[in-house]
């Protein structure tokens, strides 16, 4: 099976959008009390038969319900971390292979000294179905490149599901590496969010809910979704992209992305929940 290693927040957007619109069809009940901000860990997992896969996509999203703002922080997959039971010299994307969702959540919490309130795990093979169901997206490509037999010229590009998958997967041809890929992820995320906020998307709700059930696992329940819906119904949140600053280093013959303690402390402060 072809390996889908993409970095994308579409799962979270899809979940929030479809849950919000879907619940709007039901009789509204009171949402349980929530903090003013909370953290969602988004995991994109490349799952294949006989292989649990790795979380090659990790993003921490902080949603601020009071100010309709969101911080999005992609974590490079080669980030050097301590994984419980394995030791200090591990890549963060190995946590899912060792212990699935629980160990991945715990590893991110320990790495950044934050609480992860919710998780969203998406089967990356379903990503293209989401894009196609929403009618594709448009992005502004900063430089021309070819990847997976697709040609991406500089400037505006129309992407269907397969092409969007290739657009967010490309990494080695990007002079910025993972950071450049993260920028393309953000472009597709925002384009999908704009589509999801369009009321014409309501007609797609039954199909989108089917995709959610098939490709996504989450611990967000109905009352949690109400709280999130109260954020997105105000309009498109103001997004801030947060970069995990580090440098590549060889440790015992293995390449890692190493983040200094001072940088982790700053990131931790940015993603603390407010009440």
pLDDT score of 230? 61
pLDDT score of 17? 46
Q: Check residue 212 and give left, alpha or beta (phi > 0: left; psi -120 to 50: alpha).
A: alpha
Of 245 and 48, which is predicted with more confidence?
A: 245
- CA dist., res. 257 & res. 250, Å (int): 9
- CA dist., res. 93 & res. 187, Å (int): 23
Nearest one of 185, 215, 245, 236 to 59, comparing CA atoms: 185
User: What CA dihedral angle connects 81, 87, 89 and 93, to 10 degrees?
Assistant: -50
pLDDT tens readout for residues 68-102: 788 888 898 889 999 999 988 999 999 999 999 99
pLDDT tens readout for residues 36-66: 788 989 887 766 666 666 776 788 988 887 7
pLDDT score of 172? 81
pLDDT score of 224? 67
pLDDT score of 21? 41
Q: Which of 54-58, 80-84, 129-133, 244-248 has the lowest mean pLDDT?
A: 54-58
Q: By CB neighbour count within 10 A (0-12 exposed, 13-18 middle, 19+ buried), where does 183 fall?
A: middle
Ordered by where they begin, the domains of the chain are 9-18+34-265 (3.40.630.190)
Alpha-carbon distance values, 21 to 42, 229, 231 (Å): 21, 8, 12
pLDDT score of 235? 63
pLDDT score of 135? 86
Nearest one of 83, 109, 111, 112 to 97, comparing CA atoms: 83
Q: Is 12's pLDDT higher than 60?
A: no
DSSP E strands in 8-114: the ranges are 37-45, 57-64, 69-74, 80-83, 87-91
């Amino acid at each position: 099976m072809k390996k889908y290693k993409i970095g994308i927040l579409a799962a979270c957007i899809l979940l929030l959008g479809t849950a919000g619109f879907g619940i709007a069809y039901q009789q509204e009940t009171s949402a349980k009390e929530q903090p003013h901000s909370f953290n969602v860990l988004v995991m994109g997992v490349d799952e294949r038969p006989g292989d649990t896969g790795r979380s090659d996509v990790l993003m921490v999203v902080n949603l601020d319900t009071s100010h309709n703002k969101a911080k999005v922080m992609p974590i490079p997959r080669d980030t050097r971390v301590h994984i419980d039971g394995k030791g200090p010299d591990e890549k963060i994307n190995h946590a899912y292979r060792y212990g699935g969702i629980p160990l991945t959540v715990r590893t991110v919490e320990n790495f950044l000294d934050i609480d992860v309130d919710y998780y969203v795990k998406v089967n990356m093979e379903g990503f293209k179905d989401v894009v196609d169901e929403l009618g594709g997206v448009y992005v502004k490509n900063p430089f021309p490149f070819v990847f997976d037999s697709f040609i991406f010229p500089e400037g505006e590009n129309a992407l269907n599901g397969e092409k969007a998958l290739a657009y967010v997967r490309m990494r080695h041809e990007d002079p910025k590496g993972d950071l450049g890929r993260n920028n393309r992820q953000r472009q597709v995320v925002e384009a999908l969010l704009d589509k999801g906020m369009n009321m014409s998307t309501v007609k797609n709700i039954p199909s989108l809910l089917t995709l959610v059930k098939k490709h996504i696992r989450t611990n967000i329940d109905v009352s949690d979704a109400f709280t999130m819906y109260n954020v997105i119904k105000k309009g498109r949140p103001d997004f801030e992209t947060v970069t995990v600053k580090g440098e590549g280093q060889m440790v015992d013959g293995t390449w890692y992305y190493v983040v200094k303690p001072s940088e982790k402390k700053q990131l931790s402060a940015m993603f603390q929940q407010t009440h």
